[in-house]
Chain A
Amino acid sequence: MSRLDDELKQALRRKEPPADFAARVLDRIQQDAPHATVHHMPVRAVNSFPRLLAIAATIALMILAGVLWFVVRRQQGAQPSTPVMVKEDKPARKDKEERAAPVDKPLVPEDEKDEQRAYQPVKRKLSPRKAPRVNVLPREKTFAPDAENFLALESPSDFNFSVDDETARHLRKAQLLLRSFRNTEFAASDSPVDISYEKQLSRELLNDNMLFRREAETRKNLPVKEVLSSLEPFLLDIANLGAQPSPDEMRQIKERMRRKEIVAELQVYTARAATVAVAGFR
């Protein structure tokens, strides 16, 4: 070890602090007791409680704001003008339920306007080659009620509606299709059944149904429009079934048909149309 090392050790030897150093440290600990002691964890926890509370409140407010924003956005999204295409292609459950009882539905002109507005974009989507297939009767030859009388009507028997031949034929075809579908029997093993014919027919009727419904709507022939609207989901469901649908899928559609009494409704309208036609000849 060199002399420098010795000198360094001498120069850097430990030196004692003032005699009362430890006492001063303890005094400072006493002064800082609320903050310094390790035994005041609960006190510290209490001190930090307001901060935690503030953080929790901030988080809660942020979550609340997020939920409100979501609800407002959802309500805006539920306006009738927004999901037009969905409404046209596959009516919402609420609409279907309303259509199930077309007679009880309050007929308010404002609603009609809204519905017409909602269906506006669909006009552009329709294939132009389909339009000429509808034979529109002149307005003076129909039995459609005017707006004032229409609002006063209460029961289906009160409706003096008109059904042109094309629409009546369409309703009869649809009725036969639904009857055929309803009467489809499963084998004992619940094996899939072949409904390719019903599917094909349903597709064809679906296109026609859309056109007739639009036409009835334009002419404010609301009873016909309602029955066509009720029919459309069933045509859509049948058309969209798989090549060999499972019994469960078919049972679901049949059950809905039973609940909505769509076959009976179609029967009423086709019979009514026939009666009106006979009366017209006389």
Chain B
Amino acid sequence: MSETLARAAVGDQTAFAHIVRENQAMVYSLARHFLRDGALAEELAQEVFLQLYRHLSSIKSSEHLRFWLRKVTTNRCIDYARAARSHPQMSLDEAPELLAPELPVFDPALTETLERHIAALPEKPRLIVILRYQEELEPAEIAEILEMPVNTVKSHLRRSLAVLRGKLTRAIGEVCL
């Protein structure tokens, strides 16, 4: 990977395309889960990779690359969210509750519900949940990316999960969540 990075840094387009393909799912998914808009997420992901192309010389390793991509993507997500303030944000309490009492495991409807509830979270808690469950990062890693204390990350995570659990419980009844 480091060799690919080195080649991309000197202008090898094939190497850069390889880097894009390796990381596109991560970047796109972060944006997609945060924005809940495929087209917007793709646009954002493209901008992130364009920015990466301009800063390739500053990337030291594949770990650094992943960290850099997550950090830039989350920052851009927040920027997008702030720019799109015209779209009224729905608070978690105001989110419509679904009536689906019986749900199979990984029910698409439940997943959809969960996605909507996640999207209704405030920006920082939303990013924390996404990074925790999509990228399976530890609170310390999330804290580093979002530049906030680890305890803040943990408390955000705890509260977000409690809210999501409450919402889902009300939506699907007394299911073991």
Contact partners of B57 in chain A: CB under 8 A: 38
Contact partners of A21 in chain B: CB under 8 A: 20, 24, 28, 42, 45-46
Partner of B33, one of A10, A12, A18, A24: A12
* Inter-subunit contact B24/A16 (CB<8 Å): yes
Flag A4-18 by CB within 8 Å of B: 1 or 0 each.
111111111111111
With A11-B114, A15-B32, A16-B28 in contact, do A26 and B16 touch (Cβ < 8 Å)?
yes
Partner of A8, one of B29, B42, B45, B114: B114
* Inter-subunit contact A11/B42 (CB<8 Å): no
Q: Does A190 contact B (CB under 8 A)?
A: no
Q: List B96-115 residues whose CB lies under 8 Å from chain A.
A: 106, 110-111, 114-115
Partner of B110, one of A7, A23, A25: A7
Q: Does B176 contact A (CB under 8 A)?
A: yes
In the assembly, what is the distance between CA of A5 and CA of B106, in Å? 11
Q: Does A246 contact B (CB under 8 A)?
A: no
Question: Chain B: interface secondary structure?
Answer: helix
Q: Does A2 contact B (CB under 8 A)?
A: yes
Q: Does B64 contact A (CB under 8 A)?
A: no
Whole-angstrom distance between the Cβ of A15 and the nearest chain B Cβ: 5
In the assembly, what is the distance between CA of A23 and CA of B18, in Å? 11
Contact partners of A37 in chain B: CB under 8 A: 11, 53-54
* Inter-subunit contact A36/B21 (CB<8 Å): no
Whole-angstrom distance between the Cβ of B87 and the nearest chain A Cβ: 21
Contact partners of A13 in chain B: CB under 8 A: 29, 134
* Inter-subunit contact A5/B133 (CB<8 Å): yes
Number of chain A residues close to chain B: CB under 8 A: 30
Whole-angstrom distance between the Cβ of A148 and the nearest chain B Cβ: 88
Contact partners of B114 in chain A: CB under 8 A: 7-8, 11
Whole-angstrom distance between the Cβ of B102 and the nearest chain A Cβ: 15
Q: Does A251 contact B (CB under 8 A)?
A: no
Partner of B54, one of A25, A26, A38: A38
With A11-B118, A39-B10 in contact, do A26 and B17 touch (Cβ < 8 Å)?
yes
Whole-angstrom distance between the Cβ of B127 and the nearest chain A Cβ: 11
Q: Which stretch from B73-81, B145-153, B161-169 is at the chain A interface?
A: B161-169
Contact partners of B16 in chain A: CB under 8 A: 26, 29
* Inter-subunit contact A38/B11 (CB<8 Å): yes
With A13-B134, A14-B29, A16-B28 in contact, do A2 and B9 touch (Cβ < 8 Å)?
no
Contact partners of A90 in chain B: CB under 8 A: none
* Inter-subunit contact B46/A15 (CB<8 Å): no
* Inter-subunit contact B53/A17 (CB<8 Å): no
Count chain B CB atoms within 10 A of each CB in A8, A13, A18, A25 and give the residue with the most.
A25
Partner of B24, one of A3, A8, A22, A38: A22
In the assembly, what is the distance between CA of A111 and CA of B41, in Å? 87
In the assembly, what is the distance between CA of A32 and CA of B168, in Å? 46
In the assembly, what is the distance between CA of A13 and CA of B26, in Å? 9
B42 to chain A: closest residue by CB:
A17
Q: Does B50 contact A (CB under 8 A)?
A: yes
Q: Apart from A4-B164, A14-B134, what 11 extra A-B contacts exist at CB < 8 Å?
A: A7-B106, A11-B115, A11-B133, A12-B33, A12-B118, A14-B29, A16-B28, A21-B28, A22-B20, A23-B17, A25-B50
Identify the A interface with B (CB < 8 A). 2-18, 21-26, 28-29, 32, 36-39
For this complex, 9 residue pairs linking A to B, each with C-beta atoms less than 8 Å apart, are A10-B111, A12-B29, A12-B133, A14-B26, A21-B24, A22-B17, A25-B49, A29-B13, A36-B53
The 3 A-B pairs at the shortest CB distance, nearest first, are namely A17-B28, A11-B114, A12-B134
